[in-house]
Structure 1
Amino acid sequence: MASAFEKLVKFISYKQSPRKKGVGRVAKVGSSQGSPMSISKIQHTGSPSPLPLQGSIYADQFPPYMLPYIENFTNVHGDGNCGLRAVALAIYGNADEWLRVRNDLLVG
């Protein structure tokens, strides 16, 4: 029987945008290699995109070497469900889908 996490992993397919630059990781969901998720390194050329956090109060929350690779950030509503809201935003593109993420984890 698959765990809730394993079921959630099946919903997720991380792909890097061709516009992203720098070394990144791409997680491929599939069972062809014996595990539900395999990770491979991708090398991109060019300079990183402009800093979206430049001048932001959040810029000092990240190590300086990570800043060039951050394309976007969202401050989700902090109501005790902020972790679920962050996952919902990453998976479904809408932080208000947090209850759907919670149900996916509980029903799994």
Structure 2
Amino acid sequence: MFKSFKNSELAIIALALEEEDEKWRSQHARKKKMWIHNAWKSRTIKGEFFTLLPHLMDDETKFYEYFRMAQTTFYDLLMELEERLKKQDTFWRLSITPKQRLAVFLS
């Protein structure tokens, strides 16, 4: 009923099964979660808020074109919403400021 295998055939089968098992494990291995993705680590240097906003602040017309409101309206709105938009900083990362949150929402 069962075929008897030679030692060499059993060794080949064992290697094939081991390779298949390693392939399955590598495909289903848990990826290490990152607390902060690398793309967000450089936002204070390369992010739109930090690169564009200073230029918009110098030019009221461009600020209005970008946000569709005057700077005074933006800051009035920020004062009104600041407490609701504020998040707590942690030991591991700084939160996004209310000003940044509002700017991203409006842009």
> Could you say which TM-score interval applies, normalised by the shorter chain?
under 0.3
The higher-RCO structure (CA 8 Å, 6+ apart) is 1
Compare the two structures and name the one with the higher strand fraction. Answer: 1
- Structure-2-length-normalised TM-score: 0.20
Bigger radius of gyration: 2
- Structure-1-length-normalised TM-score: 0.19
